[in-house]
């Protein structure tokens, strides 16, 4: 068990306390007295800020410095908290100092405020924040420390967080252990397959809901089917009426057939004549096709030579156009090179002039070149000669470099001129060659055009094909003979007069409509039979659904019993850890279901509804359990200690914060107007 004892606590300029130091705190119990707002709660806030940089409400960003009369932080003061702890009887000193930063103003002795910096000291050694937090966490974790130093801290957590802390202490009974404890539970386990219990429970609820909805809909569906049944009729009478009407229809069909036989004879004779006419027309068509071919041959004009010349002409014109396009491009290139040569020639002239100018330069010495600029005394003769040689050498060297630079640039220009001139001459030669090709192709084009014209003039005038064809038709004796035969056969075709059977057909249609109506009534017999069959199926399904729902609800009941046994086991294990406080970890719903929760009860009264004394002792009970489970104790700060006459036993150090009218903040006993009040 790790024991943490607060031995000394010192506050400097922390919130409303300018300076307070309390040494040699008792390892078992200590009491701080003071009136309201004397700074009792500030002690606990200072202790938490020292360790974690936060207050009771877990805030990092809050005002810790002493305020002036205008409620503004007092400038020029550092907020400090120092403490001495005993951790398993080993002394640990801790300090946290909130310092002001002042930055000097450039060019001035004044300084300007530049924020704050926090200095952390552990066992007299300054440390970085990360290292400081690591050392504190090695003593005790922040979340646990807050729960075991404040009796009201655990109840301030969200219910899910409280429940998680409690369950983590006792450990949750596994589903496997519970399945093995009961025969029904074991059967339930075998049905889970790869699903969790919650997933299987959800599946059961969905299946029950679906089955109930189907069962509730079944009576309405049966009633609807009953109302859909057709009223009973005499099916034998209907069958007899249908048979009689079919006999009448057969008689009408016989009458219609007989009236149509005489008409069919005329139709057959006409068909035979038309077939003979069609055969003659086929012969006539063959002759006409031959005559059309003959007319085409007589009117044909041979233009193959002209067509060949036109193709050749097109190729020559295309070739001439290609040369013309290339010649145009060469002209553009020649103009560009001429401009480039002109630019290069101008550049060459400029370089020649620069060379001549530079080459003509000579070094001339003035009298003032050999006088000291400081004292105006002339140099010695030996120095003058040496200076002249130095200046002459430098002048010649600079002149040589400059001339060589001009020569180098001139050589480059010369090379560019040679390349450009050679290219220009090459392009000009090509231009002349292409002109010769174009002239040659132009002559060939003119020659071909003349040939085409000559061939066209030699062609015979074409005959009119249609006129030739009509003449051949008119003069053909065989076609004239066929026309006479076709005309004779057409005169033999007789007019066909249809017999009037409209009344018979109308009568037949009326009888068929009556048969259809009777057949429809007859069909109602099978409709009613099908409806009765469906009603029977739905009734059977309704009984089946009742059994399905019963079986599913039985499984659901087992799941709820499983949950209840598990929840009771967890709740019992948790509550066995406490003396005065008990926890309700599940809410039972109207339908028997369980919802997880975490409600602290003090003698059956919710924690929040109990009086202050009960809450504090219940909080101590919770702290005792947490300390035992985590094997650590820490100082417990009890605010409003005056409300509690007796505390339950605890192994932790107690820091009582007691309200005493008119007392200043003091350790051990009240202090009013500078005088200590004896409590014995």
Closest Cα to residue 231, out of 525, 553, 455? 525
Average pLDDT over residues 227-234: 70
CA separation, residue 639 to residues 32, 174, 612, 644 (Å) = 10, 40, 10, 10
What is the pLDDT, as a whole number, of residue 73? 79
Q: Is the pLDDT of residue 515 over 90?
A: no
Average pLDDT, the chain: 86
Burial code (b: 16+ CB inside 10 Å, e: under 16) for 333-361 equals ebeebeebbeebeebbeebeebbeeeeee
pLDDT band at 185 (very low <50, low <70, confident <90, very high): confident
CA 212 – CA 349 distance, rounded (Å): 111
pLDDT band at 379 (very low <50, low <70, confident <90, very high): low
In a domain, 396, yes or no: yes
Final residue belonging to a domain, choices 415, 434, 458: 458
413-471: pLDDT as tens digits: 999 999 999 998 998 898 888 888 889 889 989 999 889 888 888 776 667 778 887 88
**661 vs 254, residue with greater confidence:** 661
Q: Is 565 helix (H, G, I), strand (E, B) or coil?
A: helix
CA 661 – CA 33 distance, rounded (Å): 9
Q: Which two tokens stand for residue 315?
A: 């190729």
pTM to 2 decimal places: 0.51
Contacts 24+ apart (CB under 8 A), 665-668: 665/17, 665/20, 665/32, 665/33, 665/34, 665/38, 665/39, 665/40, 665/43, 666/32, 666/33, 666/34, 667/22, 667/25, 667/30, 667/31, 667/32, 667/33, 668/30, 668/31, 668/33
In a domain, 206, yes or no: no
What is the pLDDT, as a whole number, of residue 370? 66
Final residue belonging to a domain, choices 458, 487, 503: 458
In a domain, 441, yes or no: yes
**236 vs 140, residue with greater confidence:** 140
495-514: pLDDT as tens digits: 666 666 778 778 888 888 88
Q: Is the pLDDT of residue 376 over 70?
A: no
In a domain, 500, yes or no: no
Q: Which residue's entry shows tokens 């300029």?
A: 13
In a domain, 476, yes or no: no
427-438: pLDDT as tens digits: 889 888 888 888
Percentage of the chain beyond pLDDT 70 is 93
Q: Is the pLDDT of residue 528 over 70?
A: yes
Final residue belonging to a domain, choices 420, 440, 458: 458
75-101: pLDDT as tens digits: 778 899 999 999 999 999 999 999 988
Average pLDDT over residues 293-305: 76
In a domain, 192, yes or no: no
CA 103 – CA 427 distance, rounded (Å): 80
CA separation, residue 396 to residues 328, 401, 409, 654 (Å) = 54, 9, 20, 102
pLDDT band at 301 (very low <50, low <70, confident <90, very high): low
CA separation, residue 71 to residues 16, 74, 474, 577 (Å) = 11, 9, 133, 48
In a domain, 532, yes or no: no
What is the pLDDT, as a whole number, of residue 367? 64
- Which CATH number covers residue 103? 3.40.50.300
What is the pLDDT, as a whole number, of residue 616? 95
Number of separate domains in the chain? 2
What are phi and psi for residue 585, nearest 5 degrees? Answer: -100, -5
Strands 632-633 and 2-14: parallel
575-631: pLDDT as tens digits: 999 999 999 988 877 766 678 899 999 999 999 999 999 999 999 999 999 999 999
For residue 67, the cross-strand partners are 73
What is the pLDDT, as a whole number, of residue 461? 62
Counting every residue, how long is the chain?
Answer: 680
Measured over the CA atoms of residue 271, residue 276, residue 279 and residue 285, the dihedral's sign is negative
pLDDT band at 524 (very low <50, low <70, confident <90, very high): low
CA atoms in the 13 A half-sphere facing the CB of 530: 7
260-295: pLDDT as tens digits: 666 677 777 778 888 888 888 888 888 888 888 887
* Domain around 405: 304-458
Q: Which residue's entry shows tokens 């039972």?
A: 588
In a domain, 577, yes or no: no
CA atoms in the 13 A half-sphere facing the CB of 678: 1
């Amino acid at each position: 068990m790790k024991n943490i004892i607060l031995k000394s606590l010192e506050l400097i300029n922390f919130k409303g306390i300018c300076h307070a130091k309390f040494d040699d705190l008792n390892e078992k119990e200590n009491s701080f007295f003071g009136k309201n707002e004397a700074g009792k709660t500030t002690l606990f806030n200072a202790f938490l800020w020292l360790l974690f940089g936060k207050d009771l409400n877990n805030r990092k960003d809050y005002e810790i410095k002493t305020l002036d009369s205008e409620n503004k932080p007092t400038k020029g003061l550092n907020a400090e908290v120092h403490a001495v702890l005993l951790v398993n009887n080993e002394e640990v000193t801790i300090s946290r100092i909130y310092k002001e930063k002042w930055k000097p103003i450039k060019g001035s002795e004044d300084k300007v405020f530049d924020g704050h910096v926090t200095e952390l000291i552990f066992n007299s050694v300054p440390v970085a924040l990360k290292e400081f937090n690591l050392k504190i966490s090695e003593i005790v974790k922040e979340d646990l420390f807050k729960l075991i130093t404040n009796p009201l801290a655990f109840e301030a957590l969200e219910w899910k967080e409280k429940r998680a802390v409690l369950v983590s202490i006792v450990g949750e009974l596994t589903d496997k252990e519970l399945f093995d404890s009961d025969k029904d539970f074991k059967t339930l386990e075998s049905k889970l397959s790869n699903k969790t219990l919650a997933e299987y429970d959800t599946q059961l609820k969905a299946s029950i809901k679906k089955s109930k909805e189907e069962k509730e809909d079944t009576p309405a569906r049966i009633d609807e089917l009953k109302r859909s049944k057709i009223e009973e009729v005499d099916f034998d009478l209907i069958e007899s009426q249908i048979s009689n009407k079919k006999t009448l229809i057969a008689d009408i069909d016989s009458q219609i057939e007989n009236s149509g036989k005489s008409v069919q004879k005329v139709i057959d004779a006409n068909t035979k004549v038309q077939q003979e006419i069609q055969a003659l027309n086929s012969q006539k068509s063959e002759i006409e096709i031959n005559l059309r071919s003959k007319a085409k041959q007589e009117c044909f004009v041979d233009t193959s030579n002209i067509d060949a010349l036109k193709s050749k002409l097109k190729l020559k014109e295309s070739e001439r156009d290609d040369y013309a396009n290339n010649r145009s491009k060469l002209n553009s290139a020649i103009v560009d090179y001429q401009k480039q040569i002109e630019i290069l020639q101008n550049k060459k002239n400029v370089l020649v002039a620069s060379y001549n100018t530079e080459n003509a330069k000579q070094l001339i010495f003035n009298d003032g070149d050999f006088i000291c600029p400081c004292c105006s005394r002339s140099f010695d003769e030996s120095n003058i000669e040496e200076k002249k040689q130095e200046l002459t050498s430098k002048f010649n060297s600079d002149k040589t470099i400059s001339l060589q630079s001009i020569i180098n640039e001139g050589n480059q220009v010369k090379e560019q001129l040679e390349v450009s001139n050679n290219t220009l001459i090459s392009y000009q030669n090509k231009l002349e060659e292409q002109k010769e090709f174009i002239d040659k192709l132009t002559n060939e084009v003119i020659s071909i055009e003349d040939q085409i014209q000559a061939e066209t003039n030699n062609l015979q005038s074409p005959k009119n094909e249609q006129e030739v064809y009509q003449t051949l038709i008119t003069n053909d004796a065989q076609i004239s003979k066929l026309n006479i035969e076709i005309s004779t056969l057409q005169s033999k075709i007789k007019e066909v007069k249809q017999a009037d059977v409209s009344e018979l057909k109308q009568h037949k249609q009326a009888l068929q409509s009556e048969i259809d109506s009777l057949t429809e009534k007859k069909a109602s017999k099978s409709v009613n039979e099908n409806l009765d069959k469906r009603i029977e199926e739905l009734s059977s399904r309704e009984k089946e659904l009742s059994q399905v729902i019963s079986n599913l609800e039985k499984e659901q009941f087992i799941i709820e019993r499983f949950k209840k046994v598990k929840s009771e086991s967890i709740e019992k294990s948790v509550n066995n850890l406490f003396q005065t406080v008990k926890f309700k970890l599940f809410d039972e719903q109207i339908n028997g279901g369980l919802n997880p929760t975490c409600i602290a009860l003090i003698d059956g009264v919710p924690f929040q509804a109990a009086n202050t004394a009960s809450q504090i002792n219940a909080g101590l009970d919770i702290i005792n359990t947490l300390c035992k489970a985590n094997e650590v104790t820490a100082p417990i700060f009890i605010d409003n200690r005056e409300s509690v006459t007796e505390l339950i036993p605890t192994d932790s150090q107690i820091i009582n914060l007691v309200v005493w009218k008119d007392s200043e903040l003091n350790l051990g006993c009240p202090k009013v107007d500078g005088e200590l009040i004896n409590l014995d």
